[in-house]
């Protein structure tokens, strides 16, 4: 296995494959979760299951071979929810046009992966604002999860209210939440998929959801969503802020994940070659995913599970990707999973992302106000774009008021200008 430089990285084939299987178990949940979320747009769930498995296999194996890092990739949580609930259901953008937005943002990301733009953006946006964006997206997707479970419902008098906790479906969601919280707290490998499966089994036994009549089948065709993206309709001024949002969020998400997983394990060398190549695969996977009919593909933080098991090279990623071939044949099982067994995972992911607020410096007025608005406005306006816009504009405005011009740079000015477009074109 000289190709992966196992000896140089102090690892073995057995360790790498074991690490790959561990990563597979921790992120296997993405196949049914993403399919259920994106199917709300009207896209067929069967095709989404196959497409999600395919892009996970393709991007993860490619990263292992191209970048030689143990980083697994799949459709990103957060942006898939924004794609569905914010863009398609919220802004009434056809899913074909939304795929065009993902494609364009992916092409831009791919081009910029070969330039210093990504470094410029990361240097321009203060770390606290990047953390606020992550926390805001966490609040956004957690709200979507709670709303979809029926725990939070519309109330004309006060906008939102508590759902009907006498409903078996809502109680199933509560059980799912308890299980996912418990399993994650106990650091059980595959906590998410285990919580989903146990909640589903209880739903099947109690009759809340129909029991699957079969568990395995051949993969469904992706033809209903393959190459259905509408790029022309996505090239409008009104969707420019959305394209920028997908681009920036994917960039922050990827670099944040790679920093957390890679640098802690010493995976990236000083010249940044492996990081550069991983970002290139990340961008290429987003472009490929949009062609398959999926939202943005990104590096998965669950890769940390494999790293903790000793995974140090691309062989871990290749093993993870190959294990995902199994999910291609699990269509009946995935389709039988009730939605309220899935949405608790969304809430838990939101909790984890929200934890970024613990590192924010709230003593700085501009940071405190912009962080507050980002975190609050993303779920309240049901839009990552709007929340980001409120945060950036308020940050720049307060810095000008306080005459702290040294904290203002061209990157912040550019992103704030794009944010203003959000309100101008509405």
Residues 235-253: what's their mean pLDDT?
A: 81
Residues 26-35: what's their mean pLDDT?
A: 88
Going 186 to 354 to 383 to 147, the CA torsion angle's sign is positive
Structure token pair of residue 102: 């993902």
Give the pLDDT confidence score for residue 168 in this predicted structure. 93
- Residue scoring higher pLDDT (212 or 225): 225
Position 56 confidence tier, pLDDT thresholds 50, 70, 90? very high
Give the pLDDT confidence score for residue 426 in this predicted structure. 54
Give the pLDDT confidence score for residue 312 in this predicted structure. 81
Give the pLDDT confidence score for residue 376 in this predicted structure. 93
What digits encode the pLDDT tens for the residues 310-343?
A: 788 889 999 999 999 999 998 888 888 898 998 8
Close Cβ partners of 273 (under 8 Å, ≥ 6 residues apart): none
Give the pLDDT confidence score for residue 159 in this predicted structure. 82
Q: Which helix (H) or strand (E) holds 160?
A: strand 159-162
Please give the Cα distance from 257 to 103 (Å, whole number).
22
Does residue 269 have a pLDDT over 60?
no
Residues 7-12: what's their mean pLDDT?
A: 77
Give the pLDDT confidence score for residue 187 in this predicted structure. 87
Position 425 confidence tier, pLDDT thresholds 50, 70, 90? low
Phi and psi at 151, nearest 5°, equal -75, -25
Please give the Cα distance from 144 to 83 (Å, whole number).
12
Please give the Cα distance from 385 to 405 (Å, whole number).
25
Residues 114-118: what's their mean pLDDT?
A: 72
Give the pLDDT confidence score for residue 6 in this predicted structure. 76
Residues 175-182: what's their mean pLDDT?
A: 94
Please give the Cα distance from 363 to 106 (Å, whole number).
36
Give the pLDDT confidence score for residue 384 in this predicted structure. 77
What digits encode the pLDDT tens for the residues 220-233?
A: 899 999 999 999 99
* Among 111-115, 143-147, 151-155, 400-404, the least confident range: 111-115
**DSSP line for 211-273:** PPS-S--PPPP-TTTTT---HHHH-SGGGHHHHHHHHHHHHHHHHHHHIIIIITTT-S-TT-H
Q: Please report where in the chains the tokens 């418990």 appear, as a residue.
A: 182
Give the pLDDT confidence score for residue 94 in this predicted structure. 94
Going 323 to 325 to 328 to 332, the CA torsion angle's sign is negative
- Residue scoring higher pLDDT (418 or 380): 380
To the nearest whole number, what is the mean pLDDT of the chain? 85
Please give the Cα distance from 79 to 406 (Å, whole number).
33
CB-CB contact of 268 with 275 (8 Å): yes
Give the pLDDT confidence score for residue 369 in this predicted structure. 95
Does residue 291 have a pLDDT over 80?
yes
Q: Please report where in the chains the tokens 């003593």 appear, as a residue.
A: 363
Structure token pair of residue 329: 């044949």
Give the pLDDT confidence score for residue 186 in this predicted structure. 93
Position 146 confidence tier, pLDDT thresholds 50, 70, 90? very high
**Cα distances (angstroms) measured from residue 202 to each of 209, 337, 417:** 9, 11, 51
């Amino acid at each position: 296995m000289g190709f992966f430089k196992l000896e140089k990285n102090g690892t073995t084939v057995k360790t790498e494959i074991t690490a790959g299987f561990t990563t597979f178990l921790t992120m296997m949940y993405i196949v049914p979760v993403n399919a259920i979320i994106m199917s709300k747009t009207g896209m067929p769930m069967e095709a989404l299951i196959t497409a999600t498995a395919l892009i996970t296999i393709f991007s993860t194996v490619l990263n292992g071979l191209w970048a030689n890092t143990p980083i697994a990739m799949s459709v990103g949580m957060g942006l898939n929810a924004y794609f569905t609930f914010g863009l398609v259901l919220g802004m009434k953008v056809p899913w074909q046009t939304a795929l065009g937005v993902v494609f364009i943002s992916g092409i831009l990301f791919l081009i910029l992966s070969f330039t210093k733009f990504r470094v410029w953006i990361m240097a321009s946006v203060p770390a606290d604002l990047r953390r606020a964006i992550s926390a805001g997206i966490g609040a956004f997707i957690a709200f979507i999860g709670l709303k979809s479970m029926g725990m939070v419902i519309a109330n004309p008098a006060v906008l939102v209210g508590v759902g009907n906790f006498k409903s078996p479906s809502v109680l199933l969601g509560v059980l799912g939440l308890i299980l996912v919280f418990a399993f994650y707290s106990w650091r059980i490998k595959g906590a998410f998929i285990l919580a989903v499966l146990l909640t589903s089994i209880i739903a099947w036994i109690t009759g809340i959801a129909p029991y699957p009549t079969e568990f395995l089948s051949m993969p469904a065709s992706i033809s209903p969503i393959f190459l259905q993206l509408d790029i022309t309709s996505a090239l409008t001024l009104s969707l420019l802020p959305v394209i920028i949002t997908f681009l920036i969020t994917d960039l922050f998400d990827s670099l944040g994940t790679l920093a957390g997983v890679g640098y802690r394990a010493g995976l990236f060398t000083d010249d940044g070659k492996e990081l550069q190549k991983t970002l290139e695969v990340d961008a290429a996977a987003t472009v490929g995913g949009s062609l398959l009919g999926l939202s943005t593909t990104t590096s998965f933080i669950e890769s940390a599970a494999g790293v903790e098991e000793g995974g140090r090279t691309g062989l871990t990623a290749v093993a993870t990707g190959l294990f995902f071939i199994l999910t291609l044949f699990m269509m009946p099982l995935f389709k039988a999973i009730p939605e309220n067994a899935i949405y608790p995972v969304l809430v838990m992911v939101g909790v984890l992302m929200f934890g970024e607020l613990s590192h924010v410096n709230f003593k700085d007025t501009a940071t405190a106000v912009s962080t507050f608005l980002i975190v609050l406005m993303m779920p309240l306006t049901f839009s990552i774009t709007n929340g980001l816009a409120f945060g950036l504009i308020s940050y720049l405005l307060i810095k000008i008021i306080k005459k702290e011009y040294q904290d203002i740079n061209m990157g912040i000015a550019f992103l704030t200008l794009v944010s203003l477009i959000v309100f101008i074109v509405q």
